[in-house]
Amino acid sequence: TEKVYHVTIMPCYDKKLEAARDDFIFAVERQGETGQEAAEPRVSEVDCVLTSGEMLDLFK
C-alpha cells in the first residue's frame, strides 16, 4: 500500500494549533479482526501544518 503524508498550509499559528486538536483525529475501523488486533488505531487528518509565513521562508 502507498503511504500518504498530508501537509497543509494555514494562514496563521492559531490555525496550526487547531489542526492538532482531537477533533481532527479519527479512528480507523478494521474488519475481520478480533481481540488485540481489532483495536482501532487513531489517525490524524493532517501530518504536518505549515503557516504561509513558513512557506515564504522556505521559498527564500
Q: For residue 1, what pLDDT is reported?
A: 47
Q: For residue 36, what pLDDT is reported?
A: 58
Q: Helices (H) and strands (E) in the chain — how many of each?
A: 2, 4
* Average pLDDT estimate for 45-54: 90
CA gap 1, 14 in Å, rounded: 34
Q: Say which residue the cell 499559528 belongs to.
A: 13
Three-state DSSP at 7 gives strand
**How many Cβ atoms sit within 10 Å of the Cβ of residue 47?**
13
